[in-house]
Amino acid sequence: MRSPEFITFTGADDATSIEGMRELSRRYPIEWGVLFSPRQQGNGGRYPGRDALVRLLYWSGTRLAAQLCGGHSRRIMAGESLAEYIPVDLGICRRIQVNHETPDPTRLVAFRNTWGAARCIAQTRGVWLHGKLQFPGDDSVDWLFDTSRGGGVAPPFWPSHPGGDRLVGYAGGIGPGNILSLIEEVGQSGPYWIDMETSVRSRGRLDLYLCRRVCEMVYGDGL
């Protein structure tokens, strides 16, 4: 059984401890997902305000993924620039995820190139081929299988890894209660990551204790 290359914990916000993030990142392979939305930013909860964005991106020193939602993703798909809407340098992030119903990898890569060399992530609900649920064939982006769209609901089926060295992701209803069974089901054929959001929150905030618990279940005592 192959463990995930890393786990993405999405939703670091104004109240998330930077030192807590650093400490966990020193022990475990973690990517922290930072959410961006033109309507939700700074309104509390999952979308950090400007000061928190500066702390997370410039001060944390951790592996980060910017996750662009709502109007940001629609502008990207329209080929527009986000320079005037994003108050920080997304090039600091190792990956940039665009949450759009019908992502165009060509547009995503073009957008990525305006910020640097970050790898792009696109969401997919999978493709049915020959009676099997599969990831899209395009490998210019990292595909994240997610039918929940942040709702914390697990799908009835998980697609198999496409094989080889492609990195693919799994999200939706994954938490401490089912992560080991998911790993047993999908962790056989190649590198993958797992993204969690709803299941590692308490009172509307990212809970680093729950993040640690998940890491201990998957990786043991860590590095």
Amino acid 223: pLDDT: 64
Are β-strands 127-129 and 132-134 bridged in parallel, bridged antiparallel, or unpaired? antiparallel
Amino acid 149: pLDDT: 66
- Domain range for 43 is 6-219
Is residue 153 situated within a structural domain?
Answer: yes
Closest CA to 75 of 95, 46, 104, 116: 104
Amino acid 150: pLDDT: 61
Helix 179-186 and helix 208-219, axial crossing angle in degrees, nearest 10: 40
Is residue 95 situated within a structural domain?
Answer: yes
CA distance 53 to 7: 21
Q: How many CB atoms lie within 10 A of CB 187?
A: 19
Q: How many domains does the chain have?
A: 1
CA distance 8 to 119: 14
Task: Look up the CATH number of the domain holding residue 56.
Answer: 3.20.20.70
Is residue 1 situated within a structural domain?
Answer: no
Amino acid 44: pLDDT: 76
Is residue 19 situated within a structural domain?
Answer: yes
Positions in the chain whose pLDDT score sits under 50: none
The length of the chain, given as a count of residues: 223
Amino acid 107: pLDDT: 95
pLDDT tens-digit map of 38-55: 999 988 789 999 999 999
Cβ neighbors of 23 (< 8 A, separation 6 or more) are none
Amino acid 187: pLDDT: 67
CA distance 192 to 181: 15
Residues 3 and 29: beta-carbon distance below 8 Å: no
Adjacent-strand bridge partners of 97: 67, 121
Amino acid 147: pLDDT: 85
